[in-house]
Amino acid sequence: MRKIFCILILIFSGRNPDSFAQTESSNGIVINWNLLQNQLGENSFHEASFVIKNQSKEPLEAGWAIYFNTIFLGLRPEVNSEIFEIKHLAGDFFVLQGNPTSPKIPEGDSLLISYKSTTPHLKNSHAPQSLILNSNSDQIIPIVKYEVDQMSWKDFMAYSNGSEIFIPSPENLYKQNQELNLFPSEKLPPFLPSPKQWIYHAAPIKVSNAGLAVVGDKAFASASAFLIKRIKEGYNPQIDRKETPVQIRIATNEKIPSEGYHLEIRGKRVLILASDEKGAFYGVQSFLALLPPGFWDNQTSSIELVQIEIDDFPSYPYRGLFLDVARNFQPKEQILKLLDIMAFYKLNKFHFNLANDEGWRLEIPGLPELTEFGSKRGFSIDEKEAIWPFYGSGASVFNSPGTGYYSVEDYQEILSYARERFIEVIPEFGVPAHSRAAILAMERRHEKFSLAGNLEAANEYRLVDPDDQSVYLSAQNFKDNTICVCQESTYSFYAHLVKEVKKMYVQTGIELKTWHTGGDEVPHGVWAQSPVCTDFIRANKNVTHDQLGDYFRSRVGEILEFEGIQLAGWEEIGQTYKNGKAIPNPEFSEKNWTLYAWNAVAGWGNEDMAYQLANAGYPVVICSSSNLYFDLAYDWDPDEPGHTWSGVSDLYQAWKIVPEKLFLSQDKTMEGGEWDWKVQESSFTKLTESGKKNIKGVQGQLWTETVKSPEMLEYYLFPKMLGLVERAWNADPAWSKEVTTALKLEARMSEWNIFSNVVGQIEIPRLESIFGGVVLRLPAPGIQVKDSFIHANVQNPGLIIRYSTEGDEPTINSPIYSKPIPYQKGISFRVFSPKGQGGMTRVLD
């Protein structure tokens, strides 16, 4: 596999090797990125090259530089030349330039530059992206024609030789799916999340011209109005007044648990009982979930009602979804659509990350710089006009996923929309780290007022000590993303922020209950060389440098407490360190701060931190990255986009989390090593009775470094999010209560078989239609050759497998696979949804 390159920098005069792209970019500069070597596992690395071709009619003069983005490159790649260097600027932003000056590239010539990184190349989407050429005359030229060397899953299998990770080859997928069977619909739960109890009665009834009549108790007026609105959107019969309509009665029953409901459909009578508004609303959602997918497509004159009886209630009060819009922005309309889907699946907390290093996304009256500067990403050498274009958002600030914000009116519309669906919107403005966008915006404010001679205004909300010489690097590779916790202007800024955001809630008639402060990933070394902090520590003898974080959290807590708001944050805000190891911090355990426990990566240690914190008295939300970080790639296929830092995570991985027995949530370590349940159980912290009460629920997370559009957002979420939906409503699965490992595995497969059938037969068809339909990620087919016949299967029975014998990609018109077919080399297979969305193609050779 090793390739030897004797000449590392070449000028190809007038040559166009076959591997080079032939189509010119708008300025005649064409660039190829080629993967030369790649090694996973121990001593991992990759080697690659840029080939820069000047196909224009004039030379590219000396002194040019090429800027690019990639999260997946080591910070000090070794360029195999003394003439060039690749320099890390900030975050995922790098520049390839001459050392000291890039040479001239005559017209028609090509330049090859190779480098070596200490990181492996894991995904095709991990290659450098969004290349920007800055000429020696400071002309900014986005590279339009740029091609990336593609890995196949076979290439990846060779690169990962000796690794324990699961390679999603057709044969491996077939083995993984071979215990799954297609179930009859009457053997399945009626929808997700699965109700606690249900029973089917007589055959379904058809409602045509009789119509539906909604009658609700006064206490449930909002649920009744919501149901009427939804019914009118999909059902439009020619009413026959002579027929008795089907009556939908929404009534009170005080014996039903909070948020629970009883739903009964028999004959021409629908009964929804609940003890509170939320329960009535979820009963309505369950009634809607029983309607066929066609109801959501267009207005139909008849609907079919399943005769069924359901008793249901949630296991957890907190059922959350986190969305980051700071890394890449999502329009308001997509947020509203997401809230609709969350409510339909009975999620009730929307954790909304509105600010981070790479962008500020909410208008704050009195601080216009936050959106005038902090909401924009684009290219300039000195970052004066906008934040650098992190995550490949492009040179221009316009039509960019890196640019955008919500006005006060937008945010209030989101709040109202969420309230109607019984969803609490929890804003997050991360501090003290992850604050680069705010820091730079407030520096622009400082500069503006300083030039005007108003030093008091200039310093009022400044977030950094300008003389701080501390050296640090954040988890996302920023060197300047942490605010100064030792100066009062920081707290003036935060108090102003809290007041203005609270005002948005109050004006909408909504209580701002919870405020998420972030608090995670504070880099080592911050504030160490800050004169302001040195003076502060000298003046406050009871505070050491190591205690500055706790001091800051106390101050922020006081600001929120004064406004009547409960503080929340990632698990780090409830931690301290002893002998270099994170442990619960007793100083804040009585504050009732809600901690979001995310770092439970199998094999990293402290996988039971959520339980340690809960036992120490902190309310805890389970957010485990290995199962519930939806920005992780679905699998190790090199064409599957997403992160891999916490492994990979598909629908099955999300579904099999066991919130109160987290050691059962993994089968292997992240690297594919042994993860013995019995051994882990013996070392895991046991939840005490009070600790169990402190587990408030679970939450899925979608960070958006690699998510650049609403379509990508939906692809990352669906159907993976359905695993979260099931666990948030039903907590620990039944299989986790079996006594032996063998019984657990047998019961888990049985339960997974049912769940995967519900997804394939019921939820995916509905997701294609509901709320305008969503973009779905469909699994690749499993394929196996046995006795000269080709066998195929799929992760979600009920989906359609199509094949082509012509050597091309199967389409919606290709034959449907229904039984083994005679072996023929080159047959391709692909999974489709009922409406024709397709997954990845697999070719059998």
Task: Give the pLDDT confidence score for residue 23 in this predicted structure.
Answer: 33
Tabulate helix, strand, coil % of the chain (nearest 5): 30, 25, 45
What is the C-alpha to C-alpha distance for residues 635 and 648, in angstroms, rounded to an integer?
5
pTM for the whole thing?
0.96
Amino acid at 324: D
- Whether 54 maps to a domain, the answer reads yes
- Whether 673 maps to a domain, the answer reads yes
Token pair of 457 as six digits: 């205004």
Q: Which of 709, 732, 755 is the last residue of a domain?
A: 732
Same domain, 36 and 61: yes
Angle at 343 between CA 341 and CA 344, to 5 degrees: 65
CATH number at residue 742: 2.60.40.10
Total domain count, the chain: 4
- Whether 565 maps to a domain, the answer reads yes
Same domain, 215 and 147: no
272-278: which pairs have CB atoms within 8 A and are 24 or more residues apart?
272/223, 272/248, 274/220, 274/250, 277/219, 277/220, 277/222, 277/223, 277/422, 278/348, 278/422
Q: Which of 288, 312, 336 is the last residue of a domain?
A: 312
- Whether 23 maps to a domain, the answer reads no
Name 50's bridge partners.
Answer: 33, 113
Same domain, 156 and 229: no
What is the C-alpha to C-alpha distance for residues 652 and 655, in angstroms, rounded to an integer?
5
Host H or E run for residue 570: strand 566-570
Same domain, 645 and 681: yes
Same domain, 829 and 708: no
Domain region containing 242: 197-312
What is the C-alpha to C-alpha distance for residues 341 and 421, in angstroms, rounded to an integer?
10
- Whether 365 maps to a domain, the answer reads no
Q: Where are the alpha helices (DSSP H) in 759-805?
A: 764-767
CATH number at residue 139: 2.60.40.290
Are 426 and 351 a contacting pair, CB within 8 Å? yes
Residue of 78, 243, 521, 563 marked active site: 521
From 305, 312, 281, select the one nearest 198 (Cα to Cα): 312
What is the C-alpha to C-alpha distance for residues 427 and 354, in angstroms, rounded to an integer?
7
Same domain, 714 and 745: no
Name 320's bridge partners.
Answer: 349, 699
What is the C-alpha to C-alpha distance for residues 469 and 153, in angstroms, rounded to an integer?
46
Amino acid at 233: E
397-402: which pairs have CB atoms within 8 A and are 24 or more residues apart?
401/328, 401/329, 401/708, 401/709, 402/328, 402/329, 402/358, 402/359, 402/376, 402/377, 402/378
Same domain, 646 and 786: no
- Whether 223 maps to a domain, the answer reads yes
Same domain, 141 and 44: yes
User: In 179-330, where do the E strands start and end?
Assistant: 197-200, 205-207, 212-216, 246-252, 261-266, 269-274, 303-305, 308-312, 318-324
Same domain, 223 and 334: no
Q: Which of 113, 137, 163 is the last residue of a domain?
A: 163
Task: Give the pLDDT confidence score for residue 420 in this predicted structure.
Answer: 98
Active site residue 521: yes
CATH number at residue 526: 3.20.20.80
Task: Give the pLDDT confidence score for residue 241 in this predicted structure.
Answer: 83
| Three-class secondary structure of residue 833 per DSSP | coil
What is the C-alpha to C-alpha distance for residues 321 and 628, in angstroms, rounded to an integer?
10
pLDDT tens track for 610-657: 999 999 999 999 999 999 999 999 999 999 999 999 999 999 999 999
Are 828 and 800 a contacting pair, CB within 8 Å? no
Task: Give the pLDDT confidence score for residue 284 in this predicted structure.
Answer: 98
Name 309's bridge partners.
Answer: 199, 264
What is the C-alpha to C-alpha distance for residues 670 and 644, in angstroms, rounded to an integer?
9
Which residue positions in the chain have pLDDT lower than 70?
1-26
Same domain, 144 and 214: no
**Can the peptide bond before residue 834 be classed as cis, meaning omega within 30 degrees of 0?**
no
Task: Give the pLDDT confidence score for residue 16 in this predicted structure.
Answer: 33
- Whether 190 maps to a domain, the answer reads no
Same domain, 406 and 519: yes
Task: Give the pLDDT confidence score for residue 26 in this predicted structure.
Answer: 52
Task: Give the pLDDT confidence score for residue 11 in this predicted structure.
Answer: 36
Same domain, 512 and 495: yes
| Three-class secondary structure of residue 441 per DSSP | helix
Task: Give the pLDDT confidence score for residue 672 in this predicted structure.
Answer: 84
- Whether 6 maps to a domain, the answer reads no
